[in-house]
Amino acid sequence: MTWEAIGWYVIGAFGLFIFLSITVMFLTWIERKFLARIQQRMGPMRVGPHGTLQPIADVIKLITKEDILPSWTDKPIYWLAPLAIFIPAIAIWVTIPFSETLVLQNLDLGLLYIAAISVLSVLGLVMAGWGSANKYSMLGGLRAVGQLISYEIPFIMAILGVAILSQSLSLIDIVNDQSAIANIIVQPLGFLIFLAAGLAELGRTPFDIHHAESEVVGGPFVEYSGAHWAIIQLAEYVNTFAIAALIAILFLGGWSWPSMPFTGITNDFLSLVWFLIKIYAVILLIFWIRGTFPRLRIDQLMSFGWKVLVPVSFINIVFTAIIRFYNLHWSILTVISLISIGIIFYLIYKTPQKSRKKDSIRIISAKDAVNNPPKNYGDINVR
Which region, judged by CB under 8 A, interacts with another protein, from 112-120, 233-241, 245-253, 291-299? 112-120
Q: What is the DSSP letter of 382?
A: -
Q: Under rule CB under 8 A, which residues in 74-103 are in contact with another protein?
A: 74, 76-77
# residues contacting another protein (CB under 8 A): 31
Which region, judged by CB under 8 A, interacts with another protein, from 136-144, 198-206, 209-217, 310-318? 136-144
Q: HSE (CB half, 13 Å, CA atoms) of 181?
A: 13
Which region, judged by CB under 8 A, interacts with another protein, from 45-53, 69-77, 362-370, 372-380? 69-77
Distance of CA 336 to the CA centre of its chain: 26
Pick 127 or 279: Cβ nearer another protein: 127
Q: What is d(CA 336, CA 311) in angstroms, rounded to the nearest whole number?
A: 15
Positive or negative: CA dihedral 282, 283, 284, 287: positive
Q: 3-state DSSP call for residue 319? A: helix
Cβ density class 180-213: b for 16+ within 10 Å, e for less: eebbbbbbbbbbbbbbbbbbbbbbbbbbbbbbbe
141 makes contact with another protein (CB under 8 A): yes
Q: Among 12, 48, 70, 146, which residue sits at the site for another protein (rule: CB under 8 A)?
A: 146
Which region, judged by CB under 8 A, interacts with another protein, from 118-126, 184-192, 196-204, 263-271? 118-126
Beta-carbon count within 10 A of 331 CB: 12
Q: Among 59, 87, 119, 315, which residue sits at the site for another protein (rule: CB under 8 A)?
A: 119
Sequence length of the chain is: 383
Distance of CA 79 to the CA centre of its chain: 25
322 makes contact with another protein (CB under 8 A): no
Question: In terms of Cα–Cα distance, which of 219, 223, 229, 221 is closest to 139?
Answer: 219
Q: How far is the CB of 321 from another protein (least distance, A)?
A: 12
Query: What is the binding site for another protein (CB under 8 A)?
Result: 1-3, 6, 74, 76-77, 107-109, 112-113, 115-117, 119-120, 122-123, 126-127, 129-130, 138, 141-142, 145-146, 149, 152, 169
